Amino acid sequence: MQKTGKSVARCCKITARGKLLRRAPSFRHLLASKSTRAKRRAASDKRVSPGHAAKMLLGLRSGIAGLCRTGGRPADLGG
């Protein structure tokens, strides 16, 4: 059985429909120098592009198993 890729598990989240979400880069420190608009845009999660998401899902054991069982929609991913 394949182990879960922890780097992918820490940086991404799988939605109920099987899409991957990520956080915006460069917003952990030095926020005083960034504009309000940039901070507001970075506050929302971004969707990983489908091409990258397909390869990243291979590193997520529960994600790939859920997608295979349900035909594109993940089942119970656990917690």
- 């997520």: which residue's tokens? 60
pLDDT tens for the chain, 79 residues: list them.
677 778 888 888 888 888 889 988 888 899 999 999 999 999 989 999 988 888 888 877 665 555 544 445 544 444 4
Domains and CATH numbers, the chain: 6-70 (4.10.410)
pLDDT value at position 75?
A: 46
Nearest to 18 by CA among 78, 75, 79: 75
pLDDT value at position 76?
A: 46
Element (H, E) at 8: helix 6-11
The pTM (predicted TM-score) of the whole model is 0.62
- Two structure tokens written together for 51: 């091409």
